[in-house]
Chains A and B, each alone.
Chain A
Amino acid sequence: MEKLISVLIYLIFIVSAPLFIGIVNKLKSRLTGRLGPSIFQTYFDLKRLLRKETIYAQSASFVSRIAPVVSFSSILFAGMILPIGFYKPLISFNGDIILFAYLLGLSRFFQILGAMDIGSSFEGMGAAREATFAVFAEPIYFFTLGSLAFIFKFTSMYDIFHSISLNDPSFIIFIIVSAISVFFLMITETSRMPVDDPNTHLELTMIHEVMILDNSGLDLFLYQYSSYLKMLVYATFAADFFNPFNVQNHIIGFLLYIIILLILIGNLVWIETMMGRFRMKNIPRYLLFAASIGILNLLIYTFFNK
């Protein structure tokens, strides 16, 4: 029964991934004084892509054909590791925090290969940037979640997030510090505003959009869907830090999770409206800052424990 509910929740999670971006886009438009598309616009876009024909470049090989599939599936499986609300995730074992990072690595590996397959330098540029920033992103992940794992002596996401309780005031600091760096990580990995701009086309300074320049139809559908999923996966990851505030109830936990997601959307939109994109040169510095926040966790912990 427990398993069944988890499966059900995860299905809802998958289906509502485009909605998340839809809400972000709508809110962003509103804040910048436009009416904006409907929050279901992302679904319409996806539906349109399903009907379109798939075009392959002459120089494309089978890598282009499998890359979207691999990228999509591995993100889907990475999402299964995250606890949603108070529910036990579908995949949970000791050490799943490592699997999570490496499944996202698998997705990235094939996305880069898919981009490089065409041999156009536009995609090459995007792929090079993706690879570069990912090198910084992985340490951020391990600094935050790794330090929590060392603190709680658990290596499973579910156990780690369930041992967060507000009884010990020092944990509040952990949560705040971790949440900040995870938020940075989310922005980098999902190519949102200060790092990448998901809306402008034909600017050479982009990462995600330029990588999928030559994809169309079903391939683009898979890529888009996986980017929506990735967004929600990272948002859930960030939300999990505030969850469940010792709430032992499934329904309240789930509602709380949704509220936290909405607050997160608010933050994201606020940042996107207030800030412009960074210059590409400055992004590593921004990422290193996020990484150094992560190590604060452990330093605080060590001093508290002495």
Chain B
Amino acid sequence: MSINLFFWGILIQSLCAIIPLIIKNENRYSFLSHFGALLGIVFSLLGTIGNLVFGSSGLIYIGFNPYWNSLNFRFDSLSTFFVLLIQILSIPALLYSFSYQKPYIASGKKVKLYVFSFIMLIVSLQLLTVANNAVLFLVFWELMALLSYLNMVFENEKSEVQKGSFIYFVATHLATFLLYVFFLMLHQITGSWNFSEFHLVFNSTPQYYLLFALGFIGFGIKAGFMPFHFWLPKAHPIAPTYLSAFLSGVIIKLGIYGIFRVFEFLKPTDPILGWIVLAISLISAIFGVWYALAQHDIKTLLAYHSIENIGIIGIGMGIGLIGMAYSNQTIIILGFAGALFHTVNHAIFKSQLFIGSGIIYQNLHTRNIEKMGGIIHYAPWLSVFFLIGSVAISGIPPLNGFISEFIIYNSFFKTAGYFGNYYPIFMLIMTVGLALVGGLAVACFTKVNSIMFLGLPRTELKAFHVSRLEYFSLGILALMCIFIGIFPQPVIAFIIAVLQGMPIVNSFGNDFSVISSAFPAFSPFTMIFLSLILFMTMTFLFKKFLSRKSRIAKPWGCGYQHLNERMQYTASSYADELNLIPSNILMIKKDAVVPEDIFPKAGGHFHSHSHDFAEEVIVRPVYSKIIKSINRIVFLSKNDIRVYIAFILIALVSYLAFAFFWKF
């Protein structure tokens, strides 16, 4: 019953996606399809929740004849978790998409394609996570890649959009290619296409390590782990903001979903793999946030923060892997729970921050934070919501980011305690690494908040418009941040339920009390945070009561009278001292022309920019090599269709010959 509700919801959403193709009036179809899709999501959300409560995790066949039975869906706990994440997060994304399209529609832009592809994207994401069949999965995976590409070229007249979306296109197909190989190899070993039958027994033959590498890199490209992250900071800034929010909040999490599936299929029992994942994740976390600190473009900055948070999620997964290697259920639970919890949290606050940055972009028409400032005086509530998101993403109590980082910290202490030996030293390094990430995140988000919102406006601001709908979608997300921070218990209970259903956890027994005993106690937090907030409110009110004498004056400039907005501290000077430390890796290029003479005639300028190490050192050389080798065979390219058909024929024949002689 509840499953039917889910698929009816999907059907409604798909129908709403087609509305723009039927109705001519732009405003009308935008309204109808967005809110219709919202209705559809509510339906399918109810279906998922119903399924979670009444529990039927069996296979669901969609089809009319027995040959179609291979196309099946399954609501196991991991799928349910990610489907719920997608459905809940797509509500604010849809609301924001609706209000994002409005000014474009008003200016006469045709948004048919974008509305269609965004709603279809949500549909394909939901189906992707519940697909139980590798072929079906890959179909939806490809659909997801194509539909998000279609959305990404929203402002396709800009050259940076064309470039960035191309990089995304290439990266996502690289991932898909690796996944094809991954699933083909799995099929070859198990003889099945179904996820539920991909159960291997890990042994230390090279084949398994290859499988692990393929799966991890394939999904890791999507998730944005550090050496494979190069597309993220290119694709996010150019995408329309509703898509960036969705991309960062949800789509890159599907990489995490995939990696969890890889763990489930392979059941790796080698601690080395755990260490590799941990190392990659720690590097992603530290350098993700450090690159973020060096950015001026708010959306690039947030994209790098996604890499940082994916790194934190990956740390949890790495700990879980180590637990799997030693068959220690407590460690597995703590690690994976930390990863899942941070997935939820990051989805919430990153959507919030992206939506906030999108609102600012629509008002100021710039993404450069050096040109912002003083927005707090124009839109105080926007800055409150953005501040809540920033505090949460920095992992600071009393908001939700702290809780997930707390679980991950706890997993370090538990891992060191259980395994002894050299583990304490490495776990200490992880602890300090995570603390460093926290400190850098504080530096970065104080920078973002103070340069964007505080101080004086650096460019003239006449009006700042934030619609009610935008406030509403920001408000829901902010409330979620606060609620989960103070009352983490419901989310923990949900994650325990998810863990109970995961084969890698419940192979050790899925007793609820045993699993929940692995967690640290969260009850102190509720009390401490509530009393902290109460105390703050009381102190604030008391202060207000006492300070009847207060007045407004000019800021104190240490004797200088003519402070203006150009004299404020800038984002690059704020972060300069920290950025100079790994300046070789951040590849910061500074270009300064100092004006000469006492009364300079020509103006000087200063420009600093950080280049991505992975892009400059790995991707670009490889890319240029490929281009070079392609240039060598360019003589084959004749503008004659018959030649191409001949090529296709040759390729086909040689492939068949290869398949014939090479028996799999």
Contacts and interface: CB of A to CB of B under 8 A. Distances in A.
A27 interface: no
A81 B380 CA distance: 34
B549 A127 contact: no
B27 interface: no
A103 B520 CA distance: 18
Interface in A146-160: 146-147, 149-151, 153, 155
Given A62-B380, A117-B454, A153-B417, A134 B409 contact: no
B539 A127 contact: no
A149 to B, nearest CB: 6
The interface centre, meaning the residue of A58, A73, A117 with most chain B CB atoms within 10 A of its CB, is A73
A255 interface: no
Interface in A104-141: 105-106, 108-109, 112-113, 116-125, 127-129, 131-132, 134-139, 141
Contact of B397 (A103, A135, A141, A147): A103
A124 B431 contact: no
Contacts of A62: 376, 380
Interface stretch (B35-43, B528-536, B622-630, B634-642): B528-536
Interface in A189-234: 202, 213-214, 217-219, 222
Nearest to B576: A128
B374 A284 contact: no
Contacts of B532: 73-74, 77
A102 interface: yes
B653 interface: no
A246 interface: no
A305 B413 CA distance: 18
A117 B455 contact: yes
Interface string A73-114: 110110000000000000101111011011101101100110
Interface in B406-446: 406, 409-410, 413, 416-417, 422, 424-425, 427-428, 431-432, 435-436, 438-440, 442-443, 445-446
Given A61-B380, A76-B535, A99-B528, A121 B427 contact: no
Contact of B555 (A119, A129, A153): A119
Contacts of A77: 528, 531-532, 535
A282 interface: no
A50 interface: yes
A109 B577 contact: no
A105 B394 contact: yes
Contacts of A56: 550-553
A143 interface: yes
A131 B553 contact: no
Interface in A273-297: 284, 291, 295
A50 B450 contact: no
Interface in A246-268: none
Contacts of B23: none
Contacts of A241: none
B449 A113 contact: yes
B551 A128 contact: no
A265 to B, nearest CB: 28
Contacts of B391: 106, 109
B600 interface: no
Interface string B528-569: 100110011001100100110111111111100001010111
Contacts of B455: 59, 116-119
A135 B573 CA distance: 16
B520 A116 contact: no
A50 B546 contact: yes
A57 interface: yes
Contact of A53 (B424, B521, B551, B554): B551
Contacts of A155: 410, 413, 520
Contact of A218 (B402, B442, B543): B543
A52 B427 CA distance: 50
Given A56-B552, A99-B528, A106-B396, A142 B431 contact: yes
A105 B536 contact: no
Contacts of A74: 532
A302 B574 contact: no
Contacts of B406: 95, 98-99
Nearest to B564: A119
B374 A59 contact: yes
A61 B394 CA distance: 22
A213 B424 CA distance: 44
A73 B536 contact: yes
B553 to A, nearest CB: 5
Contacts of A127: 446, 450, 569, 574
The interface centre, meaning the residue of B396, B435, B438 with most chain A CB atoms within 10 A of its CB, is B435
A266 to B, nearest CB: 31
Contacts of B380: 61-62
Given A98-B406, A131-B446, A119 B547 contact: no
Contacts of A69: 536, 539-540, 543
Contacts of B376: 61-63
B258 interface: no
B395 interface: yes
A15 interface: no
A150 to B, nearest CB: 4
A76 B549 CA distance: 26
B396 A214 contact: no
B402 A102 contact: yes
Given A142-B435, A298-B428, A301-B424, A214 B549 contact: no
Contact of B442 (A73, A103, A134, A299): A134
B536 A70 contact: yes
A58 B555 contact: yes
Contact of A119 (B543, B551, B568): B568
8 contacts: A69-B540, A99-B525, A105-B396, A120-B557, A128-B573, A143-B428, A217-B550, A219-B543
Task: List 9 A-B pairs, minimum CB-CB distance, nearest first.
Answer: A124-B569, A119-B455, A116-B450, A53-B549, A57-B555, A135-B439, A131-B443, A54-B550, A150-B424
Given A53-B550, A202-B558, 5 more contacts: A69-B536, A116-B449, A118-B455, A120-B555, A142-B435
Interface of A: 50, 52-63, 65-66, 68-70, 72-74, 76-77, 91, 93-96, 98-99, 101-103, 105-106, 108-109, 112-113, 116-125, 127-129, 131-132, 134-139, 141-143, 146-147, 149-151, 153, 155, 202, 213-214, 217-219, 222, 284, 291, 295, 298-299, 301-302
